[in-house]
Amino acid sequence: MKWFLIYTFIFPALSLLAQNHYYKFSALEGFTGQNRDISLFYRLNYTDSQSLPPDYENSIYHINLTTGTDTLFLREFQAGELAERVNSVRYWNGNPSQYIHCGAKIGIAVTGYIQRYDHQQPFITLSPISGITISRTNDSLIYAWDPLMRSTDGGRSWTTVNTNINIISVSPFNTNLILARGSSGNMIRSTDGGISFTIVDTNKSIRDFPEDYSPDGTGIFVIRQNVNGYKLFVSGNSGAAFSWTSIFESQSPIIFAHRENENGRFYVAAGSKIYTNGASPNSLILYRELPRHIKGLFAPASTGFLYAATTHSILKVNQDTIITVKSIIPDPALFSYFPLEINYKWFYNVREWDWSIPPVYREYTRKAFVEKDTVMGVAGKFFKKVVSVPYTFGSINNYYRIDSLSGLLYSIAPSYQEEFPIHDFLTEPGDTIPLTFTGMQNEFTKTVFDSVYSLTLLGNNYLIKSYHDIFTLLSYGQELADNLRIIYYRYGYDFGTTTGTLKGAVINGTVFGDTTFTGIEDEAPLPDGYSLSQNYPNPFNPSTAISYHLPAASSVTLTLFDILGRKVATISDRVQEAGTHSVTINTADTRTFADLNELPSGVYFFRLQAGEFSSTRKMVLSR
């Protein structure tokens, strides 16, 4: 499946974004109103870790998808010593203008609060309030916790029910049914409105997340966190003892969503993957994978799609399509891991192990530098020309640009008119990205974002992002440093391995590390014997360079074969002088390499015949 987004409309930028703060989506919920209007409620998160205590914002915004309005709904923030947390919001009759919410207020003291939409003053408690439920059978009956409290007049006044219980949730279909976490971490249940509790599940947890009740009131879903990660538990018998089953577990936080007003269908998200229940109510199958970590889900009634929030987009998705409903501008600091300023230079110690017969090992210096801006492609976009000078192969040009809205790094081949994405800067550790730095675009190639760590390099401390590629024919990995670019790369095949380690750089005119370089600018002595080097880059699309050495003038034939040994093309057939030679194969060149234009992805062999000398190597073309 191709990785693309269909843009419908982008809401006006929020005034908060004008303050040079860059936000991320952190949550998403929703409901369908009485007029069939779909309301989405999302949170935008910003944290300034430079201030003490950190300034913080995690406010709730409301989109009406029918009218297109997008407004601030409830503010959550911390500014210095003052803070307000919104922990839970509930609505009457599917009406976004009639609601009640609860949380904490922090100032001289820490207090809890509960507030109706039509009351200017909140009800204040001695401790933060973490959750709230409105009865579906009597909308004047409301429960809030902790401590467990009850209101019979729609939240205008409150009485305490139980002060010694850590409540998980209160059923909106039967408010006598209450789940809580016991003192030893097991799950306990009340069927008398919170007066008494009994143990119903002995699995221990350190934190519990109330998720949902099936519309018939008997199915209950709870996410429980322990030291090993997260588990989704379900009970089909109103939470009774021995009715709980773990149906999903993950190292990443789990997000749950029922198909609105339907008993049978629900969705579970962890990382970038969404699952749904299959033929068996408790068996999950993969629904689809999104490009980035999922922060929230909403499944509106009577539709075949979901709404999902990732870090910088709200998406409308089904199994075939992704439509962007709303996007926000990423923090430009995310792009500092691949700087493209003109005259920036990087120097690498390269090591090559070549498992040909006889085996060959090489060490040389590779230099890369940003040469200039250039306009390329049918759309006439500006790309940065990055020249790489591997000692063995000569000069290779790459062209890059960063899209600051989508967060994607694009490349383009000089002979191609279409650009293609090769990296996504908006991903998080654990994400699997359907792109690779090599430019390979097919169902078998993906990049895994492994980790972020700190490293002292070239006399400075850097944050490092580590990645590796998934591909059946090779292994590829790279590490990117903040404000420095690629500091290490590795690619290996069944016929060899190449690594490159950054030894020096010139950044904004400042020299870091060792920038000495002996490359093709220097006059090289004639080679002692015949040799054929591995093509570079490899795998490739659409072009690659092949280098070979001749100790004396020779009649040279360079031939390309497919994996079955059938000749595909003759690349060169002529007499050449002694020295180092390089030929570039471009499968997109319709004039010089017309025979190669339709070559499918796969493994190919190239053979050099020069006099009595013959050598064959393997290459990989990935469309």
Per-residue pLDDT band at 416 (split at 50, 70, 90): low
| Contact (CB, 8 A) for 545 and 535 | yes
Among candidate residues 374, 604, 381, 589, the one with its CA nearest the CA of residue 495:
604
Give the span between the Cα atoms of 421 and 439, in whole angstroms.
7
**Quick check: 533 pLDDT over 60?**
yes
Task: Note if the pTM is more than 0.85.
Answer: no
Judge whether residue 342 has pLDDT over 80: yes
Tell me the pLDDT tens digit for each residue of 304-330.
Answer: 899 999 999 999 999 999 999 999 999
- For 538, which DSSP code? S
The mean pLDDT value of the chain amounts to 84
Question: Where is average pLDDT lowest: 72-76, 397-401, 450-454, 455-459?
Answer: 397-401
User: Which pLDDT does position 13 carry in this prediction?
Assistant: 36
pLDDT exceeds cutoff 80 at 623: no
Distance CA 489, CA 479 (A): 7
Q: What six digits make up the tokens of 125?
A: 């408690």
Q: Which of the pair, 206 or 98, is modelled with greater confidence?
A: 98
pLDDT at 534: 79
Tell me what percent of the residues of the chain surpass a pLDDT of 90. 44
The CATH number of the structural domain formed by 333-513 is 2.50.20
> Strands, DSSP E only, in 52-185?
55-64, 70-74, 77-79, 82-92, 95-106, 110-116, 123-125, 131-134, 142-145, 148-151, 159-162, 166-170, 178-181
Q: What is the DSSP letter of 23?
A: -
For residue 580, count CB atoms less than 10 angstroms from its CB and return exposed for 0-12, middle for 13-18, buried for 19 or more.
middle
HEC assignment per residue over 312-333: CEEEEECCCCEEEEEECCCCHH
* Among 150-159, 389-398, 603-612, the least confident range: 389-398
440-444, 505-509, 578-582, 612-616: which range is least confident on average? Answer: 440-444
The answer to whether the beta carbons of residues 337 and 315 sit under 8 Å apart is: no
Mean predicted confidence (pLDDT) in 166-181 = 92
Q: What is the mean pLDDT of residues 134-157?
A: 95
Q: Answer whether residue 528 shows pLDDT above 90.
A: no
Contact 284, 296 (CB under 8 A): no
pLDDT digits over 12-56, tens only?
333 344 356 889 999 999 999 888 899 999 999 998 877 777 788
Instruction: Let me know: does 457 contact 315? Beta carbons within 8 Å.
Output: no
Distance CA 449, CA 446 (A): 10
Domain 531-621 has CATH 2.60.40.2550: yes
Confidence at residue 345, expressed as pLDDT on a 0 to 100 scale: 94
- 274, 294 in Cβ contact below 8 A? yes
Radius of gyration (C-alpha) of the chain in whole angstroms: 30
Note the pLDDT of residue 283: 82
Separation CA 150–CA 155 (nearest Å): 8
- Name the burial class of residue 54, with classes exposed (0-12), middle (13-18) and buried (19+) by CB atoms within 10 angstroms of its CB: exposed
Cα–Cα dist 48/6, whole Å: 33
Q: What's the CA gap between 297 and 366, in Å, rounded?
A: 47
- Reduced to 3 states, what is the DSSP secondary structure of residue 336? helix
Q: How far apart (Å, rounded) are the C-alpha atoms in residues 604 and 432? A: 28
Name the residue with higher pLDDT: 330 or 623.
330
Could you tell me if 323 and 491 are in contact, meaning their C-beta atoms sit under 8 angstroms apart? Answer: no
| Model pLDDT, residue 17 | 40
What is the DSSP secondary-structure string of 446-467? EEEEEEEEEEEETTEEEEEEEE
- Report how far residue 7's alpha carbon sits from residue 27's, in angstroms, rounded to the nearest whole number: 21
Res 526: pLDDT: 44
Identify which of 31-40, 65-74, 436-445 has the greatest average pLDDT. Answer: 65-74
DSSP three-state, residue 492: strand
* Residue among 213, 186, 218 nearest 199 (CA): 186
- CA-closest candidate to residue 177, choices 196, 191, 194, 166: 191
